[in-house]
């Protein structure tokens, strides 16, 4: 049976109405803010801007949202106080329409974006190469000084890594051997590895490690011989290969360095200008026999009285009559910083700030600070840049240049400036 023309027109009109209705619905949906259609988050749950620290790692009085809580609340108050008069924002427990919920959600997200943009880059401390991330001091101590110290750490690590990439690229591909970690001391309770650099505060650092390990109650109670000749602290090379690699990958690794010329002069003054039952007979006698013309029989017998130019002659001689010593060896040889990725690089010149910053990072007891006392020859002035210049003034320009060349990698890796203007 053939359908009537009127019936066909009616069906076409009905189909057109359905199509227009569907198109209008699609257009309405496309014009909506997607966030208005998103479900509202449960009260009290905040956006995760960064991985949250475990609750037991938080400083006393802190919250799980860390330092973001106070700035977020401050920005919220500022924005709320700027709302137009007469506009009443609904209380949290009042029923809200979907449009109001969407508006509040967008405001919260905008505040979060504003907060992230305004946060200084150094305020969030990135994870280091170990599995255990650095934890910033508590919110009460995060002032400009702490931020400056963290930025200084970032810059020191950057300079060191660039020097290694340029001059020691092959080092990063070598396997770590016990020799590379023979100067590294282990403190298991706070998961710290410390590479000892003599004449850069190493005696007091080992005292600090002993207190951290519970071996002493105070750094002032530990004698010099206990520090250097006792076996209280373990060295990393005493562990098996698995123990070495595990600690290198999970512990916080740190070293402290010193301006190379000052460190050299400090070592010379300590070992050769004071009575010493080891350095005088072992090094002094060999140096005097090789580099002093017409040395007296008494000098050759005791090894005492070595002069600084003679000591430098020994240092620069490729055929030394006696071997190298850790007190004047390169830091790059002692600690292998191009092979081991240190998490913290401190400097003797800023020892107090750097040391106490590090102790805060590892959450050491609050009453433990880096000791200030001079370990040996306490009545004698510490070696400063001025004193080092006086000693190096005894050398020729060529000897100064060759000594600078000898320590060139240490100058480069740790960003020390040239100590004399005529060096190149």
Digit-by-digit pLDDT tens for the chain (424 residues) are 555 656 666 666 767 667 767 666 665 555 544 333 333 333 332 323 233 333 333 333 333 333 333 333 333 333 333 333 333 333 434 445 544 555 554 454 444 333 333 333 333 333 334 444 444 355 445 567 888 999 999 999 999 999 999 988 776 678 899 999 999 999 999 999 999 999 999 999 999 999 999 998 888 888 888 887 777 899 999 999 999 999 999 999 999 999 999 999 999 999 999 999 999 999 999 999 999 999 999 999 999 999 999 999 999 999 999 999 999 999 999 999 999 999 999 999 999 999 999 999 999 999 999 998 777 776 788 999 999 999 999 999 999 999 999 999 999 999 999 999 999 9
Say how far apart CA 72 and CA 108 lie, in whole Å. 9
Q: Are strands 184-187 and 234-235 parallel, antiparallel or unpaired?
A: antiparallel
Q: What is the pTM of this model?
A: 0.67
> How high is the pLDDT of residue 354?
96
326 Cβ contact partners less than 8 Å away, ≥ 6 residues apart: 183, 196, 198, 334
330 Cβ contact partners less than 8 Å away, ≥ 6 residues apart: 406, 407, 409, 410
Count the residues in the chain: 424
Per the CB < 8 A criterion, the answer to whether 410 and 330 are in contact is: yes
Q: Is residue 343 part of a domain?
A: yes
Q: Is residue 5 part of a domain?
A: no
Say how far apart CA 20 and CA 46 lie, in whole Å. 42
Number of domains in the chain: 1
In the numeric block, which tokens belong to residue 308? 């600084």
Say how far apart CA 327 and CA 263 lie, in whole Å. 8
- Look-up of token digits 């979907």: 98
Give the alpha-carbon dihedral of 204, 207, 211, 213, to 10 degrees: 120
Say how far apart CA 254 and CA 238 lie, in whole Å. 19
247 Cβ contact partners less than 8 Å away, ≥ 6 residues apart: 186, 191, 193, 236, 239
Q: Is residue 271 part of a domain?
A: no
Q: Is residue 212 part of a domain?
A: yes
Of 370, 90, 46, which is closest to residue 209 (Cα–Cα)?
370
> How high is the pLDDT of residue 4?
60
Domain that holds residue 342: 154-168+175-261+327-380
Of 161, 357, 133, 160, which is closest to residue 250 (Cα–Cα)?
133
Q: Is residue 423 part of a domain?
A: no
Say how far apart CA 28 and CA 25 lie, in whole Å. 5
Per the CB < 8 A criterion, the answer to whether 377 and 271 are in contact is: no
Per the CB < 8 A criterion, the answer to whether 325 and 317 are in contact is: no
> How high is the pLDDT of residue 56?
37
55 Cβ contact partners less than 8 Å away, ≥ 6 residues apart: 64
Q: Are strands 252-257 and 344-347 parallel, antiparallel or unpaired?
A: parallel
Strand order in the sheet with 252-257: 234-235, 184-187, 192-195, 252-257, 344-347
Q: Are strands 192-195 and 184-187 parallel, antiparallel or unpaired?
A: antiparallel
Per the CB < 8 A criterion, the answer to whether 198 and 271 are in contact is: no
- Look-up of token digits 């002093």: 292
Say how far apart CA 406 and CA 400 lie, in whole Å. 10
Q: Is residue 184 part of a domain?
A: yes
Half-sphere exposure at residue 393, Cβ-oriented, CA atoms within 13 angstroms = 6
In the numeric block, which tokens belong to residue 257? 């360095």
Say how far apart CA 7 and CA 309 lie, in whole Å. 117
Within 94-235, residue ranges assigned H as helices are 98-118, 144-167, 202-212, 224-229
Q: Is residue 160 part of a domain?
A: yes
Q: How many CB atoms lie within 10 A of CB 406?
A: 16
Say how far apart CA 417 and CA 423 lie, in whole Å. 10
Give the alpha-carbon dihedral of 233, 237, 240, 242, to 10 degrees: 100
Q: Is residue 374 part of a domain?
A: yes
- Helix (H) or strand (E) holding 75, with range, is helix 69-81
Burial label for 361, CB within 10 Å (0-12, 13-18, 19+), is buried
């Amino acid at each position: 049976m053939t359908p009537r023309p009127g019936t066909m027109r009616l069906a076409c009109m009905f189909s057109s109405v359905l199509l227009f209705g569907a198109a209008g619905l699609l257009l309405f949906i496309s014009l909506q803010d997607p966030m208005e259609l998103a479900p509202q988050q449960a009260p009290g749950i905040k956006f995760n801007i960064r991985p949250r620290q475990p609750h037991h790692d938080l400083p006393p009085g802190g919250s799980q949202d860390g330092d973001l809580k106070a700035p977020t609340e401050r920005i919220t108050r500022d924005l709320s106080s700027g709302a137009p008069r007469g506009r009443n924002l609904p209380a949290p427990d009042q029923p809200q329409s979907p449009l109001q919920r969407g508006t509040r959600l967008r405001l919260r997200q905008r505040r979060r974006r504003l907060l992230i943009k305004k946060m200084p880059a150094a305020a969030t401390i990135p994870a280091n190469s170990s599995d255990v991330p650095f934890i910033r001091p508590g919110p009460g101590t995060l002032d400009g000084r702490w931020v400056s110290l963290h930025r200084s750490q970032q810059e020191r690590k950057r300079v060191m890594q660039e020097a290694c990439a340029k001059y020691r690229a092959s080092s990063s591909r070598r396997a770590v051997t016990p020799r590379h970690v023979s100067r590294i001391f282990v403190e298991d309770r706070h998961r710290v590895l410390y590479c000892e650099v003599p004449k850069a505060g190493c005696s007091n650092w080992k005292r600090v490690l002993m207190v951290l390990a519970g071996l002493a109650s105070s750094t002032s109670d530990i004698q010099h011989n206990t520090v250097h000749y006792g076996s209280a602290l373990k060295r990393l090379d005493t562990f098996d290969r698995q123990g070495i690699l595990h600690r290198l990958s999970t512990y916080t690794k740190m070293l402290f360095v010193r301006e190379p010329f000052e460190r050299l002069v400090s070592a010379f003054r300590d070992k050769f200008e004071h009575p010493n039952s080891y350095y005088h007979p072992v090094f002094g006698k060999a140096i005097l026999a090789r580099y002093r013309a017409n040395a007296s029989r008494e000098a050759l017998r005791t090894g005492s009285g070595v002069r600084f130019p003679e000591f430098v002659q020994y240092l620069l001689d490729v055929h030394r009559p006696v071997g190298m010593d850790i007190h004047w060896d390169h830091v790059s040889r002692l600690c292998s910083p191009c092979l081991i990725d240190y998490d913290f690089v401190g400097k003797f010149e800023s020892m107090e700030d750097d040391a106490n910053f590090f102790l805060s990072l590892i959450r050491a007891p609050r009453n433990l600070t880096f000791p200030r006392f001079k370990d040996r020859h306490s009545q004698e002035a510490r070696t400063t840049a001025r004193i080092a210049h006086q000693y190096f003034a005894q050398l020729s320009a060529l000897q100064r240049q060759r000594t600078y060349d000898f320590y060139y990698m240490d100058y480069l890796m740790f960003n020390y400036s040239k100590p004399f203007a005529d060096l190149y």
